[in-house]
Structure 1
């Protein structure tokens, strides 16, 4: 029987072998001084950030929701600097600091393994400490841990940790060999993927004869009845010029009737198969009866998924940069600034946004029962309402988005009160 120390030594040997192979294949190209190119859309955190020393490397990112309404948290090994340049205890604290904002809702962890080397890897002792410090509140709502581009090193480490890991937690681990496979589960375009990882994936696919197709394969033409993955204008044109998309009006109506007093509404996910089935029904133009599913979280997830899969966010690409500047506006002036931004929206987007925010304001008024305050709702909905053209949102970009969304919900009457375009609908 192989001892733990033997496995640790074997893991170290395997990691060194992988490094040598990478160096040979890439002409001695070395990443020990950090990633050769900074991650996509990684904005530098403010130097006043409590974990600036760690956050500035972009190792941990929050990247919106997956296809089923669960928060996505990403850990990129290739962003780890050499160990002597990073306090790994601080890294663990920063990871917990990030997770603390989302552990009350269902979430997903994505671990990009490529780029881990002897020079930058945390010790196995550190990994054990990390696992022991992640108590039930962290593990309970983590639905899946995706390990992307796993190697023999990962599998050996997994064997080391098996005795410590519960069977229930172990079932959450999913190995992903190519980014195309990840795209089957997540909104691939919205992930923050470091360029080094993209290049590595291209190399793996090129080496795999007849391997998986490129992640950039074109989307098929939408059906006339399509609801998900199309624009507001497309839905309106195919639904007799209805101002409020059917998915939104039906989910909001149902949730107003049966979901307002549900604790943690919008924080929980639903069965993946159920969500796929409901999306398929909507896209085929067939009726959906939410009572059949006996789960109020199904329409809640469907509403978030509908918003996230729009080809342009409800609050538009144009507003994204303006919202990012919100932190530079004095607190006392932010409501009026948000009102100006919202009133600049195209009429159809304004009407639908007003309809949605009126509903979320109603949800927040029941927060004593459902525990969903304006702030909590903003944390859930912000990334589903606004994102940049490339789809990925850095961790630091979330703060102004959440503040903006919270203002829209909390000060709904002030923000949406004066503009009354023709055809507006109130939920």
Structure 2
């Protein structure tokens, strides 16, 4: 069965999700591919469609050494996690040259569930050494050791979560909920910029 070809409208929709963005360089001069896990529509984006989008819009721009900044903040299995077979199919579709150019994956705000998942399945799911390139980043302050603040846009909700973690460190291990954001966060006007000056200044 032939793979699904993305239409211009579908490509535009994926682009609008702000899931992938290639912009800026890290402190070693490598391109940055930023991925925001929360924006992943796990229930509606098919494997074939995502593979074709990456093939057309992302892979051609990664012809030199690059790093991935994957932001895991607010990813939930039912909404944003596509499943093991999905991830493996997408990973297998990445050209060998692109895999070779990928030097580091900065995994921002890993939760206990993602750590256990990767510790259990990472070496089998991502063959070719990707698991060894994984670098857990529990706080944005540690990301700034490798990436200049003005080189990458960080959404407001990521900054909020980072602040919560500073004051409630047990949230890192799933032993305490981030109740403040769930029950006390104000209604946000969508017309307001989604990127915080706290993250880029």
Aligned counterpart for 1:193 among listed residues 133, 150, 154: 154
Instruction: Extract unaligned runs of 5+ from structure 2.
Output: 1-6, 171-196
Q: Which protein shows a greater Rg?
A: 1
Q: Are the counterparts in 2 of residues 99 and 138 from structure 1 also a CA contact under 8 Å?
A: no
Aligned counterpart for 2:82 among listed residues 122, 136, 148: 122
Q: State how 1:125-144 maps to structure 2 within 5 Å.
A: 125-144=85-104
Task: Give the equivalent residue in structure 1 for 2:63.
Answer: 104
TM-score normalised according to structure 2 size: 0.72
Distance 1:100 1:49 in 2: 20
Over 3 Å counting, the alpha-carbon distance change for 1:132 and 1:48 in structure 2 is closer
Aligned counterpart for 2:11 among listed residues 11, 26, 51: 51
Q: Are the counterparts in 1 of residues 11 and 53 from structure 2 also a CA contact under 8 Å?
A: yes
* CA deviation after TM superposition for structure 1 residue 50, in Å: 6.7
Over 3 Å counting, the alpha-carbon distance change for 1:64 and 1:172 in structure 2 is same
Q: Deviations over 1:369-393 (max 9, x none)?
A: xxxxxxxxxxxxxxxxxxxxx7x9x
Q: Greater strand percent: which structure? A: 2
Number of aligned residue pairs: 164
Q: Secondary structure at the match of 2:129?
A: helix
Over 3 Å counting, the alpha-carbon distance change for 1:124 and 1:167 in structure 2 is closer
Distance 1:100 1:166 in 2: 19
* CA deviation after TM superposition for structure 1 residue 174, in Å: 0.5
* CA deviation after TM superposition for structure 1 residue 205, in Å: 1.1
Q: Secondary structure at the match of 1:163?
A: helix
Q: Deviations over 1:100-154 (max 9, x none)?
A: 2322111111110112121232121100101211231111011101111111222
Distance 1:148 1:164 in 2: 20
Over 3 Å counting, the alpha-carbon distance change for 1:95 and 1:167 in structure 2 is closer
Distance 1:190 1:103 in 2: 17
Q: Secondary structure at the match of 1:108?
A: strand
Matched, 1:92 2:36: no
Q: State how 1:274-423 maps to structure 2 within 5 Å.
A: none
Instruction: Extract unaligned runs of 5+ from structure 1.
Output: 1-46, 210-389, 393-427
Over 3 Å counting, the alpha-carbon distance change for 1:205 and 1:58 in structure 2 is same
Over 3 Å counting, the alpha-carbon distance change for 1:59 and 1:202 in structure 2 is same
Q: Are the counterparts in 1 of residues 47 and 90 from structure 2 also a CA contact under 8 Å?
A: no
Distance 2:54 2:159 in 1: 24
Task: Give the equivalent residue in structure 2 for 1:65.
Answer: 25
Task: Give the equivalent residue in structure 1 for 2:135.
Answer: 174
TM-score normalised according to structure 1 size: 0.36
Distance 1:105 1:49 in 2: 29
Q: Secondary structure at the match of 2:35?
A: strand
Q: Secondary structure at the match of 1:98?
A: helix
* CA deviation after TM superposition for structure 1 residue 164, in Å: 4.2
Q: State how 1:186-265 maps to structure 2 within 5 Å.
A: 186-208=147-169
Q: Secondary structure at the match of 1:83?
A: coil
Q: Are the counterparts in 2 of residues 111 and 145 from structure 1 also a CA contact under 8 Å?
A: yes
Matched, 1:76 2:18: no
* CA deviation after TM superposition for structure 1 residue 172, in Å: 1.1
Q: Are the counterparts in 2 of residues 63 and 72 from structure 1 also a CA contact under 8 Å?
A: yes
